[in-house]
Amino acid sequence: MSAGFEITGTGIVNAAGTTTKAYWETLTSGQPTAREVHLFGPDTAAQTVMPVADDQVEHGWSPRQLKRLDRMTMLSSAAIREALADARLETQPGESDRVGVFVGNATGGWGYVEPQLYPLYRDQDLAAINPYVATAWFPTASQGELSIVQGIGGTSKTFCAENLSAAFALRQACWAIADGTLDVAVVCGVEAPLTPLVYNACIRTGTVSFDGAYSPYSFEGDGAPLGEGAAAIVLEATEHSRERRVRPRARIGTPVLGSGRQSVIHRALDEAGTPRVDYVALEARGQTEPDTLELFAVESALAGDLPAMGAATGTSGALLGASFATSLVTAVLAVYQGAIPGGTRVHAALGERVRVTHGSPAEQARIRSALVVGTDPHDQAGALVVEAVEDLT
């Protein structure tokens, strides 16, 4: 592999589970996660979405602190705190200037500001907007709040690029470690879009399924149910993780981003020094054209020699800015656990019709490498190869 980056900790929270362990158990069992929720009030039709229960998320914020925070910060806090604990990394103010936070988020904190906008526009009530909107609403809120509370003083950035948001965040983190700016980077993708306004926006742009159905790689696909969640990793240079004597979960290189799915996947495989992988974590938007192009690119890049393939989208929902990070954590778990993740499985072979199964259980297998792919609506693509780390003992 061209660059030595190791993932030493993971954290995740979405409809499938509020910890990495719970998420993997859901994937292992293949149990469904979608629910009907009345986003527009109790007297309206229910929408099929993939929510996360508030009382199950260990975000670490007090009730007083939550009054100034949006849900995206709460979700990212839970994922990042778990990733740091998994990596056995403690951060303290004034002592963590070589640690940075890189966040991918596409929609910001509408759950916080939207209820305040209704009386502002309906009644012209200027007092309806509280002072914390400025720090809770914008996509950078999670990065800023977590840097402060965790005492992280190194370079930190937020990236907004739809489903590729976390891929851009990860690439910047790799660059910051490679050029010596940081020793450790915490990378997180987060989205909390379950509000009436964001839901309607996603429906209008065709991002999510109108009726809650999920039919990827078919002519009936119109998206996936909207979900919320966060996924985080702790990233270190190999030398640094070995100095700390922690066992890495997986090894990666710098993600490849650019136009053209096939060329991006080819470059990711070339940079990893491998012509094939054991598992592909597909994006599987559930939209006919993007799904067809994605599968064609994977088939072409792997020369038709297709390994096991699956997608977290059927279990977590459409996660926008958290999509790539969720696929990445899923791939890391696959190589670390030595198993094909359950949930949505995609079976394809040249000359045969694509077959998709939902609710599949995990399968034990020798998974030593995995390919993660993602896109945005403007024909940009991202790809990354995740590799298992041999036993260091």
In the predicted model, residues of the chain with pLDDT beneath 70 are: 1-3, 350-351, 391-393
Dihedral sign for Cα atoms in the order 131, 137, 141, 146: positive
pLDDT at 391: 64
Over the stretch 126-144, which tens digit does the pLDDT of each residue have? 888 999 998 999 999 999 9
Over the stretch 92-129, which tens digit does the pLDDT of each residue have? 888 899 999 999 999 999 999 999 999 999 999 988 89
Longest dimension (CA), the chain: 67
CA distances in angstroms from 193 to 82, 199, 320, 352, listed in the order given: 22, 7, 9, 37
Quote the percentage of the chain above a pLDDT of 70. 98
Q: Residues with Cβ < 8 Å from 391, sequence gap 6 or more?
A: none
pLDDT at 207: 87
